[in-house]
Amino acid sequence: MSPGLNSKVQILRQHKNAHVARLINKGWDWLCRKGTISNLDPYTKQFGYFGEGACLMFPRGTIFGEKWIQVGSKTLIGPYSCISAGMVPGQEMVSDPVVSIGERCLIGRGSHIVGHFRIEVGDDVFTGPYVYITDQNHGYKDPDIPIGLQWPNDQPVKIGSGSWIGTNVTILPGTTLGSNVVVASSSVVNGSFPDRCVIAGAPAKIVREFHQDDGWIKPET
């Protein structure tokens, strides 16, 4: 094959590949639009509550224990997000609901909310992508037994309304966040924090908080 003909063949292949890529991306965009699950979808009847205007974006992650999960009105759960109540599908739970997400929330793509006893997310809570929230850790009483085989401990988690949870944050069992709390990206959160503060770090600590008389101040070190 002559150099000129070979160049033309390569150009034709590039145009063909570009056309195929365009079709694939248009198809994916169509799937994402049509695959989003709204409160009108029969699947949402499996939830303890799934409010008007709420939706699960496509492609959705693993979701089970829907009976013990509540999703408030106009809440958007991003693609690849996983929400579970219990360790395995079909498990009977001792509390109801196990996971509740308030109204007008935004759960970022790839986030995980893993509930076993009680996780409460208030209204108007926004998270970045890849946030992990759980109310259970494995115990470590016996150093000779594999940790994954030891009996877990459950501690409820509460996230106050109006809070912002940054990208890659981990919220551990027993955490309580007040209202309008900002959690900086990649923080590891454990403990109780008041309203209107900014927390950061691993473990997370208050780096700024609002006082009615003095405005935003840094805590004393």
- Do 16 and 105 belong to one domain? no
The per-residue pLDDT of the chain, averaged, comes to 93
pLDDT tens digits, one per residue of 182-191: 999 999 999 9
- Burial label, 111 (beta-carbon count in 10 A; 0-12, 13-18, 19+): buried
Residue 138 annotated in active site = yes
Number of domains in the chain: 2
- Do 105 and 3 belong to one domain? no
Percent of the chain whose predicted confidence (pLDDT) is above 90:
80
- Do 126 and 176 belong to one domain? yes
Tokens representing 207 are 């780096």
Q: State yes or no: pLDDT of 74 exceeds 70.
A: yes
Least Cα distance to 45 among 33, 57, 36, 37 occurs for 37
* CATH code assigned at 191: 2.160.10.10
Query: Looking at residue 58, what is its pLDDT?
Result: 96
- Do 160 and 93 belong to one domain? yes
- Do 14 and 102 belong to one domain? no
Query: Looking at residue 3, what is its pLDDT?
Result: 62
Query: Looking at residue 5, what is its pLDDT?
Result: 59
Query: Looking at residue 4, what is its pLDDT?
Result: 61
- Do 206 and 121 belong to one domain? yes
- Do 109 and 127 belong to one domain? yes
- Do 25 and 112 belong to one domain? no
- Do 195 and 94 belong to one domain? yes
Q: For residue 211, what are the domain limits? A: 36-217
* CA dihedral of 142, 152, 121, 45, whole degrees rounded to 10: 170
Query: Looking at residue 108, what is its pLDDT?
Result: 97
- Do 76 and 177 belong to one domain? yes
Per annotation, catalytic residue among 19, 116, 138, 211: 138
- Do 91 and 170 belong to one domain? yes
